[in-house]
């Protein structure tokens, strides 16, 4: 079984074929194919290859859906001033399915 460590949108994810991941929002429409070429590590049946910084190859994935995450609350307070402020937002995520690792 081939497992790879890939950098997607500045974060590292361990991927294998047919795996579904939730990653930060990616550009593209639902059903489009995206490619990631920043492969940091490959592990195929105990054979480990480590890049310095990256390995040759690409990971191809299909965009399944775009969605919003849970609400994140941001609370600001200045002590002894009576100042309090509460903001919130829902970050966007993209669900992808890995098709192949080359």
Is residue 6 within 8 Å of residue 39, measured between CB atoms?
Answer: yes
Model pLDDT for residues 43-89, shown as the tens digit of each residue: 999 999 999 989 999 999 999 999 999 999 999 999 999 999 999 99
Model pLDDT for residues 12-37, shown as the tens digit of each residue: 999 999 999 999 999 999 999 999 99
Is residue 52 within 8 Å of residue 39, measured between CB atoms?
Answer: no
The dihedral formed by the CA atoms of 6, 51, 1 and 11, expressed in degrees to the nearest 10: -20
Write down the pLDDT at residue 1.
85
Secondary structure of residue 45 in the 3-state scheme: coil
Strand partners, 33: 62
Higher pLDDT, 102 or 15: 15
Is residue 27 within 8 Å of residue 9, measured between CB atoms?
Answer: no
Write down the pLDDT at residue 84.
97
State yes or no: pLDDT of 9 exceeds 90: yes
Strand partners, 5: 14, 41
pLDDT band of 102, cuts 50, 70, 90: confident
Residues contacting 67, CB < 8 A, separation 6+ = 92, 93, 94, 95
């Amino acid at each position: 079984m081939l497992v790879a460590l890939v950098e997607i949108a500045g974060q590292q994810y361990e991927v294998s074929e047919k795996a579904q991941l939730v990653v930060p929002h990616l550009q593209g429409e639902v059903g489009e194919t995206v490619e990631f070429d920043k492969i940091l590590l490959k592990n195929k049946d105990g054979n480990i290859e480590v890049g310095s910084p990256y390995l040759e190859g690409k990971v191809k994935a299909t965009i399944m859906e775009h969605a919003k995450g849970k609400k994140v609350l941001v609370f600001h307070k200045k002590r002894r001033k009576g100042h309090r402020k509460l903001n919130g937002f829902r970050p966007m995520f993209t669900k992808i399915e890995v098709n192949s690792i080359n």
